[in-house]
């Protein structure tokens, strides 16, 4: 297996009897990512059917946020979550190499999808639908494997405190502007009050306020893509 990134902060593995780490917000992030890519794939034009300008602009705006967050999510896992898990799990650690390799494949697909969306925004439908469909399938498969292999180890080996530190790192994201764009997307992926409460609990108040400002525009653009 290739070397993991350095441990980002000191960790204390979960001890028997300690509360399990809550992976619900990680599952929420996965759901939002998969839903977002599928939305893009379904909204992207076929080569012979260019989108009308409002939908084309919405596809470009939503696409920038979704593709950037998928990339950021995989980079955060490689840089932070995998080293934390490996340090805490010890002999119980899973082989993370297949997931690291998946991230490399997803990175190549994200590059192609970004280029295809840029061409689509300029009026050239090209291969956007095909590339985004390929990305959606690959991401769905990767997320299913990750939740099957990694989530049980997170609950068994990683302390609730250390997973919370990772979640705080995720909330900061690639920048405040991007985080404020992502927050309404995550909120829209919540299925019940408990998930909404969990998301609020890890979101700083200033970011929540910004999310209220960005929410209407996000919902308007995604509604355009869903029609």
Cα separation of 123 and 19, whole Å? 53
What is the average pLDDT score of the chain?
A: 90
Q: Contacts from 113-116 at CB under 8 Å and sequence distance 24+?
A: 113/40, 113/63, 113/67, 114/63, 114/67, 116/44
Closest CA relative to residue 13, chosen from 88, 80, 73: 88
At 63-101, the pLDDT tens digits run 999 999 999 999 999 999 999 999 998 867 778 889 999
Stated pTM of the model: 0.92
Element (H, E) at 205: helix 205-226
Backbone angles phi, psi at 3, to 5 degrees: -65, 140
What percent of the chain is predicted at pLDDT more than 90?
67
What percent of the chain is predicted at pLDDT more than 70?
95
For position 124, what pLDDT does the model report?
74
């Amino acid at each position: 297996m290739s070397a993991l990134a350095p441990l980002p902060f000191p960790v204390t593995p979960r001890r028997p009897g300690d509360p399990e780490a809550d992976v619900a917000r990680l599952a929420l992030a996965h759901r939002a990512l998969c839903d977002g890519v599928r939305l893009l794939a379904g909204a992207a034009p076929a080569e012979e059917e260019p989108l009308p300008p409002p939908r084309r602009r919405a596809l470009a705006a939503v696409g920038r946020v979704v593709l950037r967050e998928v990339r950021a999510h995989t980079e955060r896992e490689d840089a932070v979550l995998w080293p934390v898990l490996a340090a805490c799990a010890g002999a119980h650690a899973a082989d993370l190499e297949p997931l690291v390799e998946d991230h490399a494949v997803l990175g190549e697909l994200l590059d192609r999808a970004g280029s295809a969306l840029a061409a689509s925004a300029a009026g050239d439908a090209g291969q956007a639908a095909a590339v985004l469909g390929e990305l959606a399938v690959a991401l769905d498969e990767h997320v299913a494997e990750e939740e099957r292999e990694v989530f049980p180890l997170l609950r068994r080996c990683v302390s609730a405190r250390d997973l919370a530190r990772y979640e705080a790192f995720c909330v900061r994201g690639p920048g405040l502007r991007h985080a404020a764009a992502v927050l309404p997307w995550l909120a829209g992926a919540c299925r019940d009050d408990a998930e909404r409460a969990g998301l609020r609990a890890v979101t700083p108040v200033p970011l929540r306020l910004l999310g209220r400002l960005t929410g209407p525009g996000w919902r308007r653009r995604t509604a355009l893509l869903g029609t």
